[in-house]
Structures are given as C-alpha cells and as structure tokens.
C-alpha cells in the first residue's frame, strides 16, 4: 500500500469527483483511477461506486476513510519530526500571534529565545486576535499571543503586559499649538486598528468632541503609514510606534480631556507542555523588562 494511493483516495472522497481530484492533485484522470483501483485491490474492497457520471463512497469507503487520514497524518508527522531532527532540533513549539504583536515586540523576543534555546524549533502562525483562542483550543498551536481575551472557556489566559496608549499624529504636529482638541478638529481620527479598546474610546471621544471625523482602518501598520502621510491621527499602543517616534516619523500629542486606555497582551495556552512552560517563562521575563 502506497501513501500516494491513500492521498488520492482522501481527496477523491472529499470531492466524490475524479475530475476535480485530478485538478487538485495535478494528475491525469487515468492516474487517479489507477491509484484507486490499486488501493481497492490491496484492501480487497470496493471504495467507490459509480452513479452515472458521479462517484460515491461505498460503506467500505466510509469505514476506511478515517483510517486513511490517520495513516497519512502519522506519515507526514513522522517525516516532519525526522526533518527537524536532521536540523538539530529536539523539541518544537508552535506560536500563533496577532499581527500587532508579530510586527512589533515579537521579533526581538524570538531572537533572544532562539539564541538561548537553539534546540527548540519555533513555528509561527499569524492570525487575528479573535481567532487565536480557537487555534489554541483545537490544538493547532501550543501558545497564543493575543490582544483580546479568548471566548473559549477551556483555555488558560494570562495578561503578561499592559501597554500605554497615546494619541499620535504626523511628525510636524509636535509643536505646542497642536493639542488634543486642535488635531481632532484638523484631522480624521483613524479608528478600529486595535481589537480591544476602540468601541469604548470612540464613545468617549464623541461625547467630548461630537464633530470629530473618523476613518476605519483595521491594521496598525497601515494606520501608521496613513498618519505619516498626513491622512489622520490615531490612538496607538506605545510598543507599536516606538521606532516611528524615535525616527520622528510620528509625534505624540498630549492628552487633555480624553482618558487614555491601555492595551493588554494575553498569553493563551491549553496544554502545559515543557516547551510551553519554557517559552511562557521566557516571555514573561522579557515583557517585564519592556
């Protein structure tokens, strides 16, 4: 029994269509048919039956499908583990992180972690904060770094950092005349680039400055570029804009009537494996130093 026969069977079972299976696997339809026939001969069971131009799984096909998936998964996992061993890794951790975290604080933390633990293979997956809880709950990742608390009850969530949020504008807005009130009247307020604090913050701003004009942008990196080009201002976490402030691409505008929120970084886990415990402890130490 060959793995390629099993992979062909799994795809064919998902489509119940040999033409679509051939397109998916970049094989000819005769090759698909040959794989299925060889597998059926090996199992001494019919896996599909034809209904006109359609094919449908037989009871034997339904019964064998979970087994085929398990065999292919074990095979692929084994190859992956062997490849990691060849590269010198002894352990592995999969981290899923929100884009705001991945583009700011994570790179420097990862660099230090990899230097300290070279035998741990690190895999990174970037997802929106609201998807990270499910990623951890389902077991597709070992540890999550999110800007919002997960809704899943069967995962562990811990706050590891509280980040001040400040109002920032174009670099030219760093003189005394450009205070909170003036810039909110002069520029559009770029909103909803962070998943946690905008709903409450925007209510507060509109109560105090009812004529404020807004523009929704759902990514912080794009927000920063828009501000640099004079398209607006926004309230952003300090850790997200430290480099731009240092390079004078952006300027902080002092708060007046608006109470500034904070942005939290959450670590989400489910199984406390050795790798998870090592990375969690290292992360907390690094975040405490920020």
Q: Is residue 114 part of a domain?
A: yes
In this prediction, residue 90 carries a pLDDT of: 73
Instruction: For residues 28 and 57, give the distance between their C-alpha atoms in angstroms, rounded to a whole number.
Output: 21
Note the pLDDT tens digit of each residue in 93-102: 999 999 989 9
Confidence of residue 174 (pLDDT cuts 50, 70, 90): low
Instruction: For residues 128 and 149, give the distance between their C-alpha atoms in angstroms, rounded to a whole number.
Output: 12
Confidence of residue 1 (pLDDT cuts 50, 70, 90): confident
Note the pLDDT tens digit of each residue in 232-266: 999 999 988 988 999 999 999 988 999 999 999 99
Q: Token match 């009247």: residue?
A: 185
Instruction: For residues 15 and 13, give the distance between their C-alpha atoms in angstroms, rounded to a whole number.
Output: 6
Whose CA is closest to 265, among 134, 103, 145? 145
Confidence of residue 231 (pLDDT cuts 50, 70, 90): very high
Let me know whether 187 and 223 are in one domain.
yes
Ranges 78-92, 120-134, 251-265, 268-282: which has the least confidence: 78-92
Backbone angle region of 111, left / alpha / beta, with phi > 0 → left and psi within -120 to 50 → alpha: alpha
Let me know whether 146 and 184 are in one domain.
no
Let me know whether 167 and 39 are in one domain.
no
Confidence of residue 89 (pLDDT cuts 50, 70, 90): low
Domain harbouring 201, CATH code: 3.40.190.10
In this prediction, residue 64 carries a pLDDT of: 95
Please state the separation of Cα 106 from the chain's center in Å.
13
In this prediction, residue 268 carries a pLDDT of: 96
Let me know whether 236 and 225 are in one domain.
yes
Q: Is residue 187 part of a domain?
A: yes
Ranges 5-19, 53-67, 82-96, 139-153: which has the least confidence: 82-96
Question: pLDDT exceeding 70 applies to what percent of the chain?
Answer: 97
In this prediction, residue 42 carries a pLDDT of: 92
Confidence of residue 175 (pLDDT cuts 50, 70, 90): low
Let me know whether 283 and 149 are in one domain.
yes
pTM, 2 dp: 0.67
Distances (CA, A) of 92 to 62, 114, 141, 163, 287: 34, 12, 11, 29, 22
Q: Is residue 84 part of a domain?
A: no
Q: Is residue 139 part of a domain?
A: yes
Instruction: For residues 35 and 250, give the distance between their C-alpha atoms in angstroms, rounded to a whole number.
Output: 61
Let me know whether 54 and 111 are in one domain.
no
Domain harbouring 60, CATH code: 1.10.10.10
Instruction: For residues 120 and 113, give the distance between their C-alpha atoms in angstroms, rounded to a whole number.
Output: 9
Cβ(242)–Cβ(125) under 8 Å?
no
Let me know whether 202 and 61 are in one domain.
no
Note the pLDDT tens digit of each residue in 32-78: 999 999 999 999 999 999 887 778 999 999 999 999 999 998 988 88
Range of the domain at 107: 91-160+264-288
Note the pLDDT tens digit of each residue in 177-221: 678 999 999 999 999 998 889 999 999 999 999 999 999 998 899
Let me know whether 172 and 250 are in one domain.
yes
Please state the separation of Cα 99 from the chain's center in Å.
7
Let me know whether 143 and 273 are in one domain.
yes
In this prediction, residue 159 carries a pLDDT of: 93
Let me know whether 135 and 171 are in one domain.
no
- Residue 176: is its pLDDT beyond 60? no
In this prediction, residue 264 carries a pLDDT of: 92
């Amino acid at each position: 029994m060959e793995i390629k026969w099993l992979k062909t069977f799994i795809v064919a079972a998902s489509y119940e269509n040999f033409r679509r299976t051939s397109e998916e696997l970049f094989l000819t339809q005769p090759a698909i048919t040959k794989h299925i026939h060889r597998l059926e001969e090996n199992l001494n069971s019919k896996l599909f039956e034809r209904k006109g131009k359609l094919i449908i799984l037989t009871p034997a096909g339904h019964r064998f499908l979970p087994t085929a998936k398990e065999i292919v998964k074990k095979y692929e996992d084994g190859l992956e583990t062997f490849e990691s061993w060849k590269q010198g890794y002894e352990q592995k951790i999969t981290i899923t992180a929100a884009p705001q975290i991945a583009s700011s604080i994570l790179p420097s933390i990862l660099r230090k972690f990899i230097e300290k633990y070279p035998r741990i293979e690190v895999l990174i997956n970037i997802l929106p904060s609201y998807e990270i809880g499910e990623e951890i709950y389902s077991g597709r990742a070992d540890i999550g770094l999110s800007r919002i608390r997960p809704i899943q009850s069967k995962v562990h969530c811990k706050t590891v950092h509280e980040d001040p949020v400040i109002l920032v504008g174009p670099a030219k807005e760093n003189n005394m005349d450009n205070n909170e009130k003036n810039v909110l009247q002069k520029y559009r307020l770029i909103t909803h680039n962070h998943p946690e604090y905008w709903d409450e913050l925007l209510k507060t701003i509109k109560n105090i400055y009812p004529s404020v004009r807004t523009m929704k942008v759902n990514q912080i990196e794009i927000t920063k570029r828009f501000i640099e080009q004079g398209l607006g201002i926004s309230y952003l976490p300090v850790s997200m804009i430290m480099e731009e402030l240092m390079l004078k691409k952006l300027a902080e505008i002092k708060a007046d009537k608006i109470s500034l929120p904070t942005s939290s970084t959450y670590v989400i886990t489910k199984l406390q494996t050795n790798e998870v415990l090592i990375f969690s402890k290292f992360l907390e130490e690094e975040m405490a130093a920020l």
